[in-house]
Chain A
Amino acid sequence: MTQTSPQGQRPAVSFEDRMATVDFRVAERAHITVDTDVCRSCEVRACVHACPAALFVPTDDGGILFNYEQCFECGTCYQVCDAPGALTWSYPEGGHGVAFRQG
């Protein structure tokens, strides 16, 4: 399911393939949690499009589904979220999480 990039040289990389280039050492415990009840009343939802890893997914019932496994630990969601109590944010336990090689 690849589409050709405008350069016509190489197929465009899907978001899934893009994330597959990054090494993650997933911790058992989620380092970020999302209170979907709070998110339900949020109209801004800056996290949904600002998160560079696209980890915030709106659900049919108006909530937010969040995956911590492929988190860059950048802090974007934590900084752009204006809804008190929507996010709890910490770093993954030592040695876990993203491990960049070409940063």
Chain B
Amino acid sequence: MKKSVFSICGMCTVRCPIRVEVENGVATWIEGNPHILGRSLCGKGSAGLAFHYQEYRPQGPMLRQGLRGGGQWKRVTWDTALDYVADKLGRILDRYGPGSTFLSCRGGPFLDLPKTFLKALGSPNFTNHDAACGRNVHHASLSLYGLGRKDFIYDLKECNHLVLYGRNMLESLKVKEAKDLMEALSRGMRMTYIDVRQTVTGSKASRFWMVRPGSDYALNLGIIHAVIKEGVYDAEFIRKWTTGFDDLANIVQPYTPEWAEEQTGVPAAEIHEFVREIASDRPKVVFHPGWMLARYRDSFYASRSTHILNVLMGSVEVPGGQIIAKGPKDYGKKDLNNLGDGVPKPTEKRADGVGWKYPHFDAGPGLFQLFYPAILTGQPYPIKAYVCYRHDPLTGFPDREAQRAALDRLDLIVALDAKFGETTWYGDVILPLSGYLEKDSPIASQKGKTPRFIVRRQAIEPLYDSKPEWWIFKELAKRMGLDKYFPYESVQELWDFQLKGTGFSIADFEEKGFVDPADKAKLFDRENGLKLKTGSGKIELVSPSLEKAGFPSLDIYREREPLPAGTFRLVFGRHAIHAHGHTQDNPLLHEVFPENNLWINDRVAADLGIAEGDKVEISANGVTAEVKAHITPFIHPEAVFTVHGFGRTVPVLKRAFGVGFADQRMAKGCLERFDPAGGGIAYLECLVTVRKAEEV
């Protein structure tokens, strides 16, 4: 018996649409959804078969015995595990109040269930991984447009010039975007790639600038200066849609390209040449405002100034520029029904201080790292339980020791996961989620040029005693007397609830794996129809809300001291074959990329007596690791680079255990070091030392 199922990849957070073939109950083939991806898929996507059939993952509910992290688990039934969690959560709630539980996740479109559960408990403390990722970009976007990071689509199809700041689209890749990028490059789109090292993406660029680490903001100030001085901005668009242009011009006054050259190492003449190019390419120019920008203390301003360059180019809501993502409502259609809308809003303020102590941050997911001080101080109220839902902060956030010290103060850590993350392993209870081929998901609504409803459909039976989210949260709620907020008995009933009034039924998803509530893309009218969500309804180059919170709209540039000899900024990134810390134990992916190494600039390496392949010792703040050196001229002398996600400490991960080194462990002290204006962790504001390892 052979069947074909449209579903959604779960190997990384991109969640590409896939088509799965199943023979006699066994998945045999995964390809990209032909209707969207023309069957293309990345290697991780194909390795999804190995994930399901070969990787060692939690095989049933487990309760911790012995010490946290000690790895002694007792297999129990679902009833026992759920009763245990419900009972413990209930008692914590009674004793410490509704806000005493927080829940974190990795983000994504399928969050109605966990959010509803937390809200039903009465807790406002939903958070996610984004403070270690895109928060600076998101907040920068909000401060200008009132629209978030995900509210824009970069229209590569017609773009004339794409400018990337370390956005390594071909290695930190989304299948559709990587395809579109290569298509655009073959069409002749120009691409300027700016980074502290050369990547595959940069190797395809028409211009490559190797900048000094942490100087993106200086570069942007220099570019904005030149754009304004040369008068090559879209004056009409700026007059119509922005506030604060004159202030902007004043702020960038001192920052000439010549000044920027001193800060960044990019020759002023090349900046001038670049500005002449974008002047002729605009408005079809996209300055990519960044993805993972939890890097420096001024990453928020680096991103904000990048957004501003788009505004100056007038590349907002034009073909080839950045297009505002539209949901069903923008097309006069009904969006999905959310379970969460049926739950009263929690009355407590957020424990991370977001929304009240920090009024300039988006209260949606708040800031994960600020839950640690709340746990430690009991302020503004005690936090005693943590639901870790598909998230691994011990891999994603810095300073394992500091995190553990805070986690140790909790009475309960519940991990819902399909694999053994570092944090899962540190939990008290593991509720194993089914793998993505083994389960149905709720339907999700995706904004885009046109909106789309997507759904993950079960292709195979679970191999182990695992369950899907819709079942687990429902069962927990039932046990806690919160059943009414989960008004379904089966996933079919959940889908019916979600789709009610949209005119679609789940059967409509069979044909292509998705449905489109509106079929023809439209652009908002640039005369008077841009739907911005700022106070003024305009793009706020000078942001009243930012200034009210005590932050300048554009800060002065704080010059960086030269680094002491032998010290570096440890830059981390991705390789096409791995997704952060999720994939190191996958047999197929491990084979291609088993271990990370450390890129070191060739001249620096010569000074330190380090040759290709030598073992080097890298250390920071008392944490030391050994790793093999890779010597290259194409990394800035102040930086060393590695691929993130290695150095795993979970012993059951046969292949990944103890292999390579974990960059995040070097960033000790960085939990408290975040960009005050953007909220993102400043991972790179911490130096490491590197030397040749002693022979033993």
Q: Do A and B come from one complex?
A: no
